[in-house]
Chains A and B, each alone.
Chain A
Amino acid sequence: MTQSQSPAGANREDSFNKKDKSLSAPEASIQGKQEVRAAVFACRWCALLGADRAGRERINIPASFRLIPIECAASVEPDMVLRALADGIDGVAVLGCHLGGCRHNDANRTARLRLSLLRDMLDIIGLDRRRLLLSWGTAHEGHQFAALIRKFVSDLAELPALDRRLIGTR
């Protein structure tokens, strides 16, 4: 039984009981086969350069992420993150400049406050905080970007798949 066929209740329970190793290793690898989807918002001043360098250095990264360049990490609405998850995207990463190095007068500090709160809320509503990756200046180099994405995608592969049956009904 793959996760997309499992009842929604089971999914929720799985993500709640993180310590409960109901996801054994073989099962997790089966889920890993089901394609993980991640949306990566990259600030054009910092993380976009990291992504570009990863490309130039030809570092191999799993193909399951989609990069969306944005002007500043501050422009990511919490609403947009939730909408993406509701659309069946397994995880959202927001990659911004290091704190203190924002090109927009420290706008990323405000963004961090807001998005960290959203991360906590993801736990509360039964999704997992790992579905929202926040990075402040840790994706500026090619290898940093690649490592971050690899870790993120493998984290997402471990999480139970989102119930995609409700997509399009909202």
Chain B
Amino acid sequence: MNTAPLVIVCTCHDTLCPVLPERALVEGMAVRRPEARLKFLPSLCRPSDLKSLSALIEQERPSALLLAACSPFAKGRNILDELIRGECAIPVDLIDIREGCSFIHAGDSDAPDKAVDLICMGLAGLIHRQRSPKVSFQPQRRALVVGAGPAGLAAAGILARLGIPVTLADRMGRAGGLLNQIGKLFPANTPSRELLDPLLQEIDNPMVDFLSKTSVARIEGDPGSFTAHLVRDGQESIVQAGAVILACGALPVLPDKDFRSGEVAGVISQLELETRLRKLETQEAGTPEFKNAVFIQCMAARDEAHPYCSTVCCPTALKNALRLKSLNREVNVTVVHRGIMAPGRAMEELYRKAMTAGVRFVAYSPADPPEVRGDGKVSAVSLKDALSGRDTLLPADLVVLSTPLKPRPETSVLTKGLGVHLDEMAFARGREPMHPLATPVPGVYLCGTVRWPVYAEQAVDQGRAAGVKTAAFLAGGSIGDLCPASPPGPAKAAVRTDACSRCGQCVAVCPYGASRRDEDGAVSVSAIRCHGCGLCTAVCPSGAARIPEHNVAIREILREIAPRIAP
């Protein structure tokens, strides 16, 4: 093996030459790095050139290979991947002299100097960059699903079908979650049993250990071996699981004296209307005892306490307005809203159907909220129409308040123990936007309303997806495959115990809870939790926390940039 590194410059079909002439590069490199050999190839993205590259490697047998070509986001990454897949045994790296130099410095006489600098920086990185050790993991083959709503049931069902033992815990006596309180589902007025019953059948499987009336007090441990403390009737028990699916749902906000509910009769929540409608629909010749129903949307939503759109309330109002209309066409239904949020083909159709059925829509502005009128019993709703600006009085004998879903306070206890973060509204946060169901902690997945309000069918879909992701995690493998890694591969922080002063700054700043202390105070990094962001290496006063791919290499790269003093 030759000790000198080989630098391949891709001239990109000779388009590089006007800005970066070959001679200037050769001369520059001869001064800076005489030992490095420089070769030019016209187009590395062509298979023929890759073949000549392999021949060159065979012939020169260099200690390292640096490709000076286009940006990794153009073709560079593909070329690099091709080489690594072709089992290139020597260290190989790519630097960008096309987008990063020739394209942006046209007509600049300093451009060749910069290209030489970039090549030297690349060589410094190649020589000094160490690699994090490859670590494999073997998780315990059991999943814990917290919450048996539609999402949790779907997750447990798919895991059982994939042959993975599941513990499914729910605080309630029976499975189904919020779906138990809802009779029919939008948009097609499907009875909720039609969604729920197949899910219940799926978890009727020896693989699923369904624990009802059981709440999960806390979960500790690391991905692959979590310990959950379950409480049932004051009795605590422990379950060991390799992965956790959080499907613990959300809470409906209920009116508390809002819009004079509780004070005047006839002001109810949408959830109560669900119950009443279910009764009316099962009665023979059920007729509602009211003539004028007014739905008020966005009660306690999109305000300071709940600064978000809860997604499900507008479709629910549309569905229930239509249900009222189909019970009795004579009932006047008015929806007082701040903009109807009904996205998607089916929801748009539902909205049009409601308009055709004679449901009236009146917009209000949050600055002028509607007022409920009446003594003892509701008689009217007065509001300022936001579109026409006119004061409007709507006669009403029933006022239905559409309320949002809010995060469950217990969720934060679980997420804290797991190392998962909450968003500003206190919903559990996934790795948005690319991996919304996965969390930064491998082996912890989210589905259903615990992460954001969703429709019941979507909760089922999310549950299935989270189940499959969990199964993939539980198959084990290399921890490098778990976190998004930049080339050359997953970087993991490590603490050198001999240099560590145990100050604990890295433990305090680690955004993933990967740096931790043991009982003796010694600091270590959990490789499976670490994403290699490098925050710990930046705060470590002793230089003990290090990322092999990062620290030494960056220092050497900076040295290459520093201006050299003339001899």
Contacts and interface: CB of A to CB of B under 8 A. Distances in A.
Interface of A: 35, 37, 39, 44, 49, 51-52, 54-56, 58-64, 66-72, 74-78, 80, 83-84, 87-89, 103-107, 110-111, 114, 146, 164-165, 167-168
Contact of A56 (B103, B121, B547): B103
A89 B538 contact: no
Contacts of A105: 421, 440, 511-512
Q: Which 6 A-B pairs have the closest CB atoms?
A: A55-B99, A75-B534, A105-B511, A87-B562, A104-B533, A74-B535
A66 B512 contact: no
A68 B105 CA distance: 17
Contacts of B421: 105-106
B339 interface: no
Given A75-B537, A84-B562, A67 B110 contact: no
A103 B558 CA distance: 25
B99 A87 contact: no
A96 to B, nearest CB: 11
A61 to B, nearest CB: 5
Interface string B98-125: 1111011111101101100110010000
A96 B100 CA distance: 18
B535 to A, nearest CB: 4
B17 interface: no
Given A75-B538, A104-B535, A70 B98 contact: no
Given A55-B104, A71-B533, 18 more contacts: A55-B71, A60-B104, A60-B107, A63-B108, A63-B110, A68-B121, A68-B557, A70-B554, A71-B534, A72-B534, A75-B534, A80-B555, A83-B555, A84-B558, A87-B558, A104-B512, A107-B535, A111-B535
Nearest to A105: B511
B549 to A, nearest CB: 8
Contacts of B111: 63
Contacts of A103: 484
Contacts of B509: 107, 110
Given A63-B105, A75-B534, A168-B565, A49 B73 contact: yes
B535 A110 contact: yes
B353 interface: no
Contacts of B397: none
A75 B535 contact: yes
A167 B565 contact: yes
B110 A35 contact: yes
A107 B554 contact: no
Contacts of A80: 554-555, 558
A107 B535 CA distance: 7
B313 to A, nearest CB: 26
18 contacts: A39-B561, A54-B104, A61-B104, A63-B113, A71-B534, A74-B535, A75-B534, A75-B535, A75-B537, A75-B547, A76-B538, A80-B555, A80-B558, A83-B558, A84-B562, A104-B535, A105-B512, A110-B509
Interface string B522-536: 000000000111110
A71 B105 contact: no
A35 B156 CA distance: 64
B164 interface: no
A70 to B, nearest CB: 7
B129 interface: no
Interface in B111-145: 111, 113-114, 117-118, 121
B211 to A, nearest CB: 32
Looking at A44, A74, A84, which has the most chain B CB atoms within 10 Å of its CB? A74
A6 B559 CA distance: 24
A44 B565 contact: no
Given A60-B105, A62-B108, A63-B114, A74 B538 contact: yes
B255 to A, nearest CB: 32
Given A37-B562, A52-B71, A67-B100, A114 B440 contact: no
B355 interface: no
Interface of B: 71, 73-74, 96, 98-101, 103-108, 110-111, 113-114, 117-118, 121, 421, 440, 484, 486, 491, 509, 511-512, 531-535, 537-539, 547, 550, 554-555, 557-559, 561-563, 565
A77 B541 CA distance: 10
Contact of B105 (A61, A104, A167): A61
Contact of B74 (A56, A78, A83): A56
B104 A58 contact: yes
B482 to A, nearest CB: 15
Nearest to A74: B535
Contacts of A55: 71, 96, 98-100, 103-104
Contacts of B555: 80, 83
B104 A64 contact: no
Nearest to B559: A87
A70 B534 contact: yes
Contacts of A107: 509, 511, 533, 535
Contacts of A58: 103-104, 106
Contacts of A75: 533-535, 537-538, 547, 550
A44 B96 CA distance: 14
Contacts of B554: 68, 70, 80
A160 B110 CA distance: 21
Contacts of A165: 565
Contacts of B535: 72, 74-75, 104, 107, 110-111
